[in-house]
Structure 1
Amino acid sequence: MKKKLFPILAVLLIISSCGKKEQQAPPQGPVPFPVQTITTNDATVYQEYTANIEGQQNVEIRPKVNGFIQKIYVDEGQVVKKGQILFKLETQALNQDAAAAKAMVQAAQVEVDRLKPLVDRKIISTVQLETAKAKLAQAKSAYGSIAANIGYGTIYSPASGTIGSLPFKEGSLVSAANQEPLTTVSDTRIVRAYFSMNEKQLLLFNKTFKGANAAEKLKSVPEVSLLLVDGSEYDQKGKITTINGLVNAATGTTDFRAEFQNPQGILRSGSSGIVRLPIIQTNVILVPQNAVFEVQGKQIIYVVEKGNKVKSRIIETNGTSDLNFIVTSGLSEGEVVVVEGASKLKDDMEIVPQQAKSNISEKSAAAAIDSVKTNSTPAKK
């Protein structure tokens, strides 16, 4: 019985071994890989700058006279109009000073009235009358000054906007010497985003946008966008309106200001964001970022050569546009590159090229061309 079983087991082991060899056999022949033919295109590169946002008008409200806050008519975050009453300071002591000054005016006027007929009848000299008139003018001036200070006790808003914090409460003693203002009125219908460029960025800016001076360069600068702190893009485009004429020697930077409309009140003074400046680069080579990999800090891509064999090549890039790298050297128009699966390739490996869909957005390219046309249109005289 045992002698009959041995041949059967041997046959089964041979069949099983052959089946495993057939399953483990590696595929034969070239493998298909997606490729893309290199062309030149227009690309939009975004330069990003951290910005501080302020209202177009931030007015600090400060008292002109000393006194206790008698009444606060507004609250934090309230929208006010120009000329609206904000604070009322207690002016009882000034009222008493005003009454005394008024009495001095009346006394001086009586003296002038007494001396005038005596001068007319030449009983006394005009010197005494002129002296009395001078004292009357002095008394009126003192009274006017005190009356004005009483008026300063009622504080009105010098501009329309939103009320900031209210550090002082009713009953607090305030004066013009206080370091902290009573509040701040911020007009945020238009907000200003302040950012800066270092000397290298400023040099690129000056080379990119033509003009003999800052005003001419600003005319050719396209609209900028604003990224909010949550990463979303603000729905209103802005415009760079001013450039500081000097480079800060301490920081090596130059200040810029962009303005954005704020009809919905989304932006608040004191917040932050990122200004994105689009720069159009024409006739540049773009390759998908997925096609490029790094080895020891160098960017490498596989190029399809004769016989559909691939060869690795070092390239240099200058930023990104959408999902593509902008290639400055290492590739030429008309060459074919592998756009996916580079990790599976080796030099001189033969592949089956399959043309892949380009990552270059037609909409983005059209927008770039339109922007170039718009900014190159001469201004109407």
Structure 2
Amino acid sequence: MKKNSIFALFALLIIASCGKKEEQQMPAPTAAPFPVQTVTLQDAVVYHEYTANLEGQQNVEIRPKVNGFIQKIYVDEGQVVRKGQILFKLETQTLNQDASAAKAMIQAAQVEVDRLKPLVDRKIISNVQLETAKAKLAQAKSAYGSIASNIGFGTIVSPVNGVIGSLPFREGSLVNSVSEMPLTTVSDTKIVRAYFSMNEKQLLFFNKTFKGGSTAEKLKSVPEVSLLLVDDSEYDQKGKVVTMNGLVNPTTGTTQFRAEFKNPEGILRSGSSGIIRMPILQKDVMLVPQNAVFEVQGKQMIFVVGEGNKVQSKIIVTNGSSDLNFIVTEGLSEGDVVVVEGASKLKNDTEIVPQQKKETNSTETAAPIAKDSLKINATPAKK
């Protein structure tokens, strides 16, 4: 028993001495390098986005002025037409018969005037009878002119240059001037109008941002806007905001704006949609890279380098983005040093080796990829 106890004690001493040697051989942990950036105030371009409805500069509904059957359709959907080009021909056989009858009434009235005139000259009858006959002649001519005009309305031409919309009626269909549905729509898309809306909060920000004593002066100071298409590509033509409704719609709480874009290649079509991107220059704001920000339980956080190069996480509040940076409104102060990469590898009180990263002014970077987080639906345009 004594030998076994001595042997066990000896083994424990050997293990303990080996552990001390291993502890002595393990190197002390060293601080790892992390890129950091000093927070400064700078100018930033922020893009506010608004959903927009696109319409041609002129969307003219083509409606018949007379009743009749469609005898011939001369165009097809999507066809480009010129002003004055024939679109439809309505059957006017009944009107032709009415015109013949009206023409006969003119001839009869003219005969009566011719018969009475020499009698009046010889004072056989009073002048009243002749004037009455002349009035009937004028009435007959007016009736004929009205019928002739209606016959002309049977040939329907395009009032503007543009593109033909849908054709809901076919040849042989009976149409009339009070039909709810038009024969077609001709859309002039050389200039495309984008209608979008701002809510009251956005409108207040707009009025404070762009100076001017009148609406026209404010619109002149608005920079050119971009149009984001449904495939997320940016339209290659810049647009200009040209009108703003003077009233807030009490039902929707929004005010409607209109921007116009040139459409030389016909890429934009009336009835489609897009997103208006309006650049807003904000001065003296704090920017931090989006890669530096992480979320914990729905709150945005960032690591700040403190005393002894130890990092501490801070909750921040952002308001939109500019380029690849968040605009920070709360949680940071000018001069703070933040970790811009590798936040997932850190925890509070971790010591690092700060490596200053060169700051980039947002207004000099590729700002078109930046966007504001706020989007609203456009109110349908009313002409």
Q: Same fold (TM over 0.5)?
A: yes
Q: SS at the partner of 1:122? A: coil
Q: Letter of the aligned partner of 1:92 in structure 2?
A: Q
Bigger mean CA deviation after superposition, 24-33 or 202-211? 24-33
Q: Does 2:89 align with 1:88?
A: yes
- Give the corresponding residue for 1:52: 53
Q: Could you tell me how far 1:312 is from its partner in structure 2?
A: 2.0
Q: SS at the partner of 1:51? A: strand
- Give the corresponding residue for 1:318: 319
Q: Could you tell me how far 1:366 is from its partner in structure 2?
A: 9.5
Q: SS at the partner of 1:123? A: coil
Gaps of 5+ in 1: 1-9, 368-381
Q: Could you tell me how far 1:25 is from its partner in structure 2?
A: 5.9
Indicate if the aligned counterparts of 1:43 and 1:365 stay in contact, CA closer than 8 A. no
Q: Deviations over 1:50-106 (max 9, x none)?
A: 111000000000110111111111111110111111111111111111011001001
Q: Residues of 1 paired with 2:67 and 2:299: CA distance?
A: 69
Q: Does 2:298 align with 1:297?
A: yes
Q: Deviations over 1:106-141 (max 9, x none)?
A: 100110111011111111011111111111111111
Give me the identity figure in percent. 79
Instruction: Evaluate the alpha carbon distance shift between residue 235 and residue 348 of structure 1 in structure 2; reply closer, same or farther with a 3 A threshold.
Output: same
Instruction: Evaluate the alpha carbon distance shift between residue 25 and residue 323 of structure 1 in structure 2; reply closer, same or farther with a 3 A threshold.
Output: farther
What does residue range 220-369 of structure 1 map to in structure 2 within 5 Å?
220-358=221-359, 360=361, 363-364=364-365
Q: SS at the partner of 2:235? A: coil
- Give the corresponding residue for 1:3: none
Bigger mean CA deviation after superposition, 345-354 or 267-276? 345-354
Q: Letter of the aligned partner of 1:42 in structure 2?
A: D
Q: SS at the partner of 1:86? A: strand
- Give the corresponding residue for 1:132: 133
Q: Could you tell me how far 1:256 is from its partner in structure 2?
A: 0.7
Q: TM-score if structure 1 supplies the norm length?
A: 0.87
Q: Deviations over 1:179-200 (max 9, x none)?
A: 1111110000000011111111
Q: SS at the partner of 1:104? A: helix
- Give the corresponding residue for 2:207: 206
Indicate if the aligned counterparts of 1:42 and 1:365 stay in contact, CA closer than 8 A. no
Q: SS at the partner of 1:265? A: coil
Q: Letter of the aligned partner of 1:278 in structure 2?
A: P
Indicate if the aligned counterparts of 1:324 and 1:359 stay in contact, CA closer than 8 A. no
Q: TM-score if structure 2 supplies the norm length?
A: 0.87
Bigger mean CA deviation after superposition, 344-353 or 255-264? 344-353
- Give the corresponding residue for 1:154: 155
Instruction: Evaluate the alpha carbon distance shift between residue 308 and residue 129 of structure 1 in structure 2; reply closer, same or farther with a 3 A threshold.
Output: same
Indicate if the aligned counterparts of 1:288 and 1:359 stay in contact, CA closer than 8 A. no
- Give the corresponding residue for 2:172: 171
Q: Letter of the aligned partner of 2:224 in structure 1?
A: E
Q: Could you tell me how far 1:304 is from its partner in structure 2?
A: 1.1
Q: Residues of 2 paired with 1:366 and 1:252: CA distance?
A: 31
Q: Residues of 2 paired with 1:116 and 1:126: CA distance?
A: 9
Bigger mean CA deviation after superposition, 31-40 or 244-253? 31-40
Q: Letter of the aligned partner of 1:295 in structure 2?
A: V
Q: Letter of the aligned partner of 2:183 in structure 1?
A: L
Q: Residues of 1 paired with 2:88 and 2:195: CA distance?
A: 32
Q: Letter of the aligned partner of 2:175 in structure 1?
A: V
Q: Could you tell me how far 1:295 is from its partner in structure 2?
A: 2.4
Q: Could you tell me how far 1:306 is from its partner in structure 2?
A: 2.2
Bigger mean CA deviation after superposition, 312-321 or 44-53? 312-321
Q: Residues of 2 paired with 1:119 and 1:277: CA distance?
A: 80
Q: SS at the partner of 1:346? A: coil
Q: How many residues align?
A: 350
